Amino acid sequence: MKFLTWKKVAYKIFIKNTCFIALLAFNKVVWANCDSYSLTMYPDSTIVNSLPANGLSPGRPLLNSNGNTWAINGGREYVFDMRWGGCAGNIFGMGKAYADPLGKVMPGIYYREGGKVFNVFDTGVPGIGYAVGIRDYRASLDKEIPLRDYTVQTYPYSGSTGKWVSTIGYRARLIFVVTKSSLVSGKYVIPSQQIANFWALGFREGGGDAPPHTKLLLQSTTLTIEAQGCEYTSPEHQVVQMPAINRNFDNHQSDRYEGNFSISLVCDPNISVYATMTDVNNPGYTGNILKPSPSSVAKGVGLQLFKYNDTTPINFGPDSPHKGNINQWYVGGGSNTPERSYTIPFKARYIKLPNESDITPGEFQAEASITFSYQ
């Protein structure tokens, strides 16, 4: 009986010790961490954005269907994890953390929100860039730190305790931004890419006692641009028939010798339409007299063009759709305008050219173009 009693006690002690050893091993695997994890931003849907084709302001964000800034978000509670002294025995934690941008910066273009300035980086899509904001996983949006074209400190941040920490997590937000005044309609795929590097420093600023560097990633995103504008419904080339004049023509008679033509458009809603007339043979000309083409036989006269019932002739300008182009004039429309059609009537009248004493008879030819801007 003594032998059996001793064996039973020994058996209990053996099992108890085994459990204790197993628990120690289990705790060591779970809690002694020195890890880092990448953070990925996933689009929640295909991005479709309707914007005027021209007159855009670089730095403007793309908007969603509710009229709010369209952002792609991502978050991870533990990007850096070194609980229980897992990094070379460092029991203090991390004192600083940083982010390095990896994208190609767009010079001179910035996104502004809430009094903060964000650099804009290239997506590879014509006219579209991106801006990124980063904040601590538990911080409010007003603590967001703009990603700049240099290394930015992400911890400590304004409002944080600044104490040594064993874990750091982030929330990231990517905003698509207009980078050109004009956009081209199309469906674009922005490939998956690395946006930034994350890194942290432990107790020894020389390194070696903090988790390894990790990444901020963007998942592949489909972006559809629907550039709003107008459909030109008149003939692309129009020939205006002008009446004949004699060599004794005087400018006071110009309203008797005129030709009429019109241009028609059908325009998308919510855009303002502007136009510029250009002298085809002298594109930089900004006066109001359309001079004869080099092929014109008749000399000594030109044309003045009038829109609607204006009594002041149109001034010519460069062939450009850019907002604020020289001698650009307003056609119609605005931010709350429904889809609508425009028909613009024009009159062309002869005018005797200054410093020309005689009119050379023959066939008269002159060429002008009109460029519309959708803003």
For the cut 90, the answer to whether the pLDDT of residue 86 exceeds it is: no
Instruction: Kindly report the pTM of this predicted structure.
Output: 0.64
Is position 214 within any domain? yes
* Statement to judge: residues 293 and 251 lie in one domain: yes
pLDDT 10s digits, 96-153: 999 999 999 999 999 999 999 999 999 988 889 999 999 999 999 999 999 999 999 9
Task: Note the maximum CA span of the chain.
Answer: 146
Question: Domain containing 359: what range?
Answer: 230-374
**ω into 156 cis (within 30 of 0):** yes
345-361 average pLDDT score: 89
* Same-domain pairing of 171 and 125: yes
pLDDT above 70 covers a percentage of the chain that reads 87
> Residue 27: what residue type?
N
Q: Which of 176, 205, 228 is the last residue of a domain?
A: 228
pLDDT value of position 53: 67
DSSP state letter for 212: P
Structure tokens of 158?
Answer: 């304004």
Residue 105 lies in a domain: yes
Q: Which of residues 228, 251, 280 is at a domain's end?
A: 228
Asked, for residue 252, whether it belongs to a domain, the answer is: yes
Claim to verify: residue 270 and residue 307 sit in the same structural domain: yes
pLDDT digits (tens, 9 = 90+) for 230-257: 888 999 899 999 999 888 887 777 778 8
Same domain, 236 and 312: yes
| pLDDT tens string 268-279 | 888 899 999 999
Indicate whether 74 and 196 sit together in one domain. Answer: yes
**pLDDT at site 32:** 61
Same domain, 116 and 218: yes
For residue 158, give every residue at least 6 positions away whose Cβ sits within 8 Å of its Cβ, in sequence order, or none: 143
pLDDT tens for each residue of 185-234:
788 888 999 999 999 999 876 778 899 999 999 999 988 877 778 888 99
Q: Is the pLDDT of residue 38 over 50?
A: yes
